[in-house]
Amino acid sequence: MQQLKRRGFCLGSAPIRQTDSHDISRWHLGMPVLLKSNSINLLTDHAAHIKQTEELVSALLKQTDCDSVLANTPYAERLEPKFQSLGSAFNEGDPQEIETVMFDAMDGDHIIAEDLWLKASWLSFHEDDASLRFRFSFGIDSLEDVAADPGRQKLAAELTDAVFPESRVITDNQALEETLKSILHSDGISFVERIIYFNSPNGGAYLHHDLERGHDGVVFAQLTGQTFWLALSKQALIEEIILFSKTHSWPDSLTLEMRLEMSELIGDRAYLSEQLGSFANAGLIHLINETEAFVQFLIARGHGTQLEPGDVLLLPQATEETCCWHSVFCLDDEMGQALSFAIRAKNYALTKPADATP
Ligand SMILES: [Fe+2]
């Protein structure tokens, strides 16, 4: 049986049996949809690209600059002449950032878009967690309304294809495209705000959402290694926290102050929802991410999903209330590669407020 261990916290065993979660009607309830073995054939086509990316990550872990790797074969040939590197930047104000490589998009001698970037970052500050990610976007991170500039969004997606051609496991995946068109009642799907993930032993992600204006949801494709997920709608998470409080005593690791606050939170759904969304309530963060009792409770309640290479997981992110919250654990002895792309339906209406971003 595989153990769930993340950032120094031992959270019990992962279940052997898969939770049955491939019914696509779950999307509209804010619940995850598993497309088991959806991309297994495409992995073979991209085996060489996946291996190349593993070598890039090994170089980064040995403190080689990403920019200097991208200046050589095979990256230079795939990037140029359309994407011209402007070199790296290192933001000392962001301790999670490893390196940001900036690009202009060119058409001959003309710049058609500026300030596209690839940002490599650590996923946590824990010294035994080597999890990292490569994120592609443009403009001022976290401040730019990326949804309002689909042209640059498309170029940032093309930049991902040039650096990580295995992106096509998602973008050239007809079965996935048909499923998403059917779910979203759209005749076209694009994949934007792309991230390439490496979840490492003792790493992963705490419960969070990816709600952002311009996106309908997120698609996650496991390329190598295995991950374990807890995923459920925000409403369901709120109800599970309340049910947990009625059927369990608070774990010993919660301080008296945390217990008093939790007792207040579970009596007021609106306050509990607000505190979840703040990502700043220490007791709540500890309970839902760092206690074996709550993690095992969510698994027993059917919210666990295991991903193997070739599996794809869909995470709806429609509204604050219904978006799918999710948490990731690495199940292997080595880091595994995955793709996480935002889904934008062609008929997406930009009527949602720009401040919907968490
Ligand atoms: Fe996420």
For residue 26, give both structure tokens. Answer: 């779950």
**What spacing in Å lies between the alpha carbon of 175 and ligand 1's midpoint?**
23
**What three-state secondary structure class fits 188?**
coil
**What spacing in Å lies between the alpha carbon of 210 and ligand 1's midpoint?**
5
**What spacing in Å lies between the alpha carbon of 263 and ligand 1's midpoint?**
28
**What spacing in Å lies between the alpha carbon of 64 and ligand 1's midpoint?**
27
**What spacing in Å lies between the alpha carbon of 133 and ligand 1's midpoint?**
12
In percent, the amount of the chain with pLDDT more than 90 equals: 81
Residue 68: Cβ within 10 Å count: 13
In angstroms, the CA 343 to CA 217 distance is 5
- For residues 187-215, give the mean pLDDT: 92
Which of 156, 34, 143, 42 is closest to 105 using CA atoms? 156
In angstroms, the CA 342 to CA 219 distance is 6
Residue 280: Cβ within 10 Å count: 8
In angstroms, the CA 129 to CA 120 distance is 15
**What spacing in Å lies between the alpha carbon of 238 and ligand 1's midpoint?**
18
Q: Supply φ then ψ for residue 152, to 5 degrees.
A: -70, -30
**What spacing in Å lies between the alpha carbon of 31 and ligand 1's midpoint?**
13
Task: Give the pLDDT score at 337.
Answer: 97
Q: Return left, alpha or beta for 208; rule: phi > 0 is left, psi -120 to 50 is alpha, else beta.
A: beta
**What spacing in Å lies between the alpha carbon of 77 and ligand 1's midpoint?**
32
**What spacing in Å lies between the alpha carbon of 121 and ligand 1's midpoint?**
15
**What three-state secondary structure class fits 156?**
helix
* CB contact set of 56 (below 8 Å; sequence gap of 6+): 66, 69
**What spacing in Å lies between the alpha carbon of 81 and ligand 1's midpoint?**
33
- For residues 161-172, give the mean pLDDT: 97
Homologous superfamily of the 3-236+289-356 domain (CATH): Jelly Rolls (2.60.120.10)
In percent, the amount of the chain with pLDDT more than 70 equals: 95
81 cis-preceded (ω within 30 degrees of 0):
yes
pLDDT one-digit tens code per residue, 137-151: 998 777 767 777 888
pLDDT one-digit tens code per residue, 88-147: 988 888 888 999 999 999 999 999 999 999 999 998 888 888 899 999 999 877 776 777
Q: Please tell me what DSSP assigns to residue 14.
A: P
SS3 for 37-94 is: CCCHHHHHHCHHHHHHHHHHHHHHHCCCCHHHHHCCCCHHHHHCCCEEEEEEECCCCC
In angstroms, the CA 276 to CA 221 distance is 26
**What spacing in Å lies between the alpha carbon of 110 and ligand 1's midpoint?**
36
- For residues 8-32, give the mean pLDDT: 86
Q: Scanning the structure block, which residue is given the tokens 């048909």?
A: 178
**What spacing in Å lies between the alpha carbon of 76 and ligand 1's midpoint?**
30
pLDDT one-digit tens code per residue, 31-46: 999 999 999 999 999 9
**What spacing in Å lies between the alpha carbon of 109 and ligand 1's midpoint?**
38
